[in-house]
A and B are shown apart, each in its own frame.
Chain A
């Protein structure tokens, strides 16, 4: 494979992997937005679900855009197109069109392509955005309890220092 062909292959695989990640993130976002409020959730936490969904969509997009700057124009364009499509699929899911479009047009082909990506890229392009998305989801859903912990700790420390 020539250098140019290798570069093209690299960019295509990279784009496929980005597609996979964005599809996953958009699907999560759509899933969360489209779900009826879970009975196990405190009604007061419903706004947090929307925050979580936004974080899910925005965090990987931001991270990947930053990474894209390093990789050149072709990958960047691919990212934009695929990203827009995936967010669109997520919105479809949110609007109540079910999982089928997301699975058929997004996740399955993207996953199939992602499997063929060079393994050395996996930690950055799949795991890092996924991790940061999950971290955002986690804190969006449990922020009030973590804040309560900080407040309680400050109160106890105040008692001890008095």
Chain B
């Protein structure tokens, strides 16, 4: 029901802006749609920011504020004076939906369905999302106040949250993280709409404009990022609206376009700092357009207010950071050489493959251009959210950009400056990117070039139109290659692990009735998340329907990802993030052993070591998987609701081990305890919860069986997997469990 309400309320909020723009500014439907999307996004972001600053970020307050603004808009629109309708767009001789566009549309629909299923079935799983995009949003949702989490863990917690607040909206409304990743798809579709409108502003036929817009959605990087909370797509959308408004302002000179450019730039600057480059490169278009209207006086009268709005809208973040850290763009500083990292990343804890230190990429361009060329054409980051601009961009978009640049230079000689100011953005952006990025970090940062993708596709649309007029065969062949590339790009998603779009296991679990929680499918993600999933799955499953636990975490720094600790309904609190914790943690999660990482635990806040927890009788090891351990307070595990939930979890996840344990249970001799470190122990624990096994069962860390027996003062102990050191052990039997053939021993300790 809540989801239905959410699906209904958003079109209402969006339509109010659309109607207002149509009524007051007599904008054509397409332009009104572009600006309505922008204003709707800005309304969401700044409403949440205002309430979050006041400590009132609650759904009731937010709905009240959004509803009030919408009501005012509607009333305002009703009172608008009659205005002449805008000229209808000239009807094209060609059909917009030709065969190629229908095929691309079908591919885009298939992708949207796939992404929708992945969003529903899988948890938010982008690496940066889990590390630092989502935790401040989750904390803000819990506390009602814009959160600044401990920077000792991630300096990126200080980055602007303008983009993140878009993802927070469904989270606040629905009270679950399930649909948080779905926002990315809507932003991608919106950016495609703006690209379509921009192409139309350049008088591209609607057929080619739609072709380019669909290719944008079906680009590998856009599809990968559409399933995440990365902020590159919101930046692209803001950049495109800024470009669209600038071009329309150049063409028409009306204030509404300049105002929308200010909102787009301001919103974008509050999303990500690389929007600085995007905003800067568009300024010449706006400045020249204003200058043409009346020289210096027009600059003061029109450009200065534009600039003021652009800079004021994102001002919260630099002001907060300046007051808190003394540096407005913390963790960066802006200087003549661009953004400079303030040294907040503990590089010694980062795997060697991810470290920088190779010098700026522009040096590589000057020293070894062929090497950079070959590197770029390998499409680094393909099948991940880090890159993958796709073959259409590299093979057709780049040459088309060159073609547009040459034509723009010719047009400039003839006195038309807009093309050169517009297309000049592409090389300037590329050079500034190369001047900023460390060459060794290029594989991770190619996503920042995504702002060039729509420009390349727009140029390609112009070229296609030209080809269609002069060489129809070449145009048809090129479009066929694009369709193939788009189809391959959709298939390519199946190979992605960063994030994964593999919904096979999730659907199989649902069919088999063994589904627990979406957190189980962190096992599809890359790096150490599959190991962490063995702890995150029961943590979420046990707590999702209650008031939640306070969860402590210590892990290798690089995989210290706190977002999953909150739980799928944000039911849990991260103990490390609480300035004054109410008491001891309810659960503690440890993870060490990241391949190539520092291989040591990193602590945030109070230091509670695994050794201390093992000695602490208040806690019990619940899951163990290689480097991952989840300890839970016994008092929590004794709650009837949690016991029932845990039994159900074992039944769904360890059916094989339960059956194996049941086959041995009747033959077990009397003992003080049963200990072990394999999955078979979960089977015995299930029997204990079901009341069919009386001997206490303990999961223990590897090699800790004897120590646990000593702590329990037990004399007769059944061990699973291996005999205990210091005891007289005799074999009891063996069975085949989910992790292979397992032997049981009876261990008798001397008195």
Q: What residues of chain A have their CB less than 8 Å away from a CB belonging to chain B?
A: 28, 31-32, 34-36, 38, 40-41, 45, 49, 52, 120, 122-124, 126-128, 130-132, 134-135, 137-139, 141-142, 145-146, 148-153, 155-156, 159-160
**Which 5 residue pairs of A and B lie closest in terms of their CB atoms, listed nearest first?**
A159-B504, A149-B492, A135-B395, A153-B491, A152-B495
Other-chain contact of B370, A35, A122, A141 (Cβ < 8 Å): A35
| Cβ-defined contact, A127 with B378, below 8 A | no
Chain B residues contacting A122 (CB-CB under 8 Å) are 403, 406
| Cβ-defined contact, B495 with A145, below 8 A | yes
Decide yes or no: A134 and B379 within 8 Å by CB, A34-B370, A123-B471, A149-B492 being known contacts. Answer: no
Instruction: Given A38-B374, A149-B492, output 7 extra A-B contacts at Cβ < 8 Å.
Output: A123-B466, A131-B478, A145-B382, A148-B383, A149-B383, A149-B495, A159-B504
Q: How many Å lie between the Cα of A132 and that of B478 in the bound state?
A: 9
Chain B residues contacting A28 (CB-CB under 8 Å) are 373
Q: How many Å lie between the Cα of A151 and that of B368 in the bound state?
A: 35
10 contacts between A and B (CB under 8 A): A32-B374, A131-B395, A134-B395, A134-B399, A138-B377, A149-B383, A149-B488, A153-B491, A153-B495, A156-B504
CB distance from B462 to the nearest CB of A (A): 10
Other-chain contact of A41, B375, B396, B403 (Cβ < 8 Å): B375
Decide yes or no: A124 and B474 within 8 Å by CB, A31-B370, A141-B377, A156-B494 being known contacts. Answer: yes
B interface size (C-beta, 8 A) = 45
Q: How many Å lie between the Cα of A160 and that of B370 in the bound state?
A: 43
Chain A: CB-nearest residue to B505: A159
| Cβ-defined contact, B504 with A134, below 8 A | no
Chain A residues contacting B398 (CB-CB under 8 Å) are 134
Q: How many Å lie between the Cα of A155 and that of B501 in the bound state?
A: 13
Q: How many Å lie between the Cα of A121 and that of B394 in the bound state?
A: 22
Q: How many Å lie between the Cα of A142 and that of B446 in the bound state?
A: 15
Q: Decide if the interface of chain B is mainly helix, strand, loop or mixed.
A: helix
| Cβ-defined contact, B504 with A35, below 8 A | no
The reply on B470 being an interface residue by CB < 8 A is: yes
Q: How many Å lie between the Cα of A132 and that of B403 in the bound state?
A: 15
Q: How many Å lie between the Cα of A6 and that of B403 in the bound state?
A: 26
The reply on B371 being an interface residue by CB < 8 A is: yes
Other-chain contact of A150, B391, B481, B491 (Cβ < 8 Å): B491
Q: How many Å lie between the Cα of A67 and that of B728 in the bound state?
A: 88
CB distance from A37 to the nearest CB of B (A): 9
Q: How many Å lie between the Cα of A120 and that of B471 in the bound state?
A: 10
Q: How many Å lie between the Cα of A144 and that of B468 in the bound state?
A: 33
CB distance from B686 to the nearest CB of A (A): 28
| Cβ-defined contact, B442 with A123, below 8 A | no
Chain A: CB-nearest residue to B372: A38
| Cβ-defined contact, A150 with B488, below 8 A | yes
| Cβ-defined contact, B492 with A138, below 8 A | no
Q: How many Å lie between the Cα of A120 and that of B391 in the bound state?
A: 26
* Residue among B402, B470, B495 with the highest chain A CB neighbour number at 10 A: B495
* Contact code string B463-490 (vs A, CB < 8 Å = 1, else 0): 1001100110010001001000000100
| Cβ-defined contact, B494 with A153, below 8 A | yes
| Cβ-defined contact, B504 with A160, below 8 A | yes
Other-chain contact of B374, A41, A132, A152 (Cβ < 8 Å): A41
Other-chain contact of A123, B370, B391, B463 (Cβ < 8 Å): B463
Chain B: CB-nearest residue to A127: B399
* Residue among A38, A52, A122, A155 with the highest chain B CB neighbour number at 10 A: A38
CB distance from A135 to the nearest CB of B (A): 4
Q: How many Å lie between the Cα of A152 and that of B490 in the bound state?
A: 11
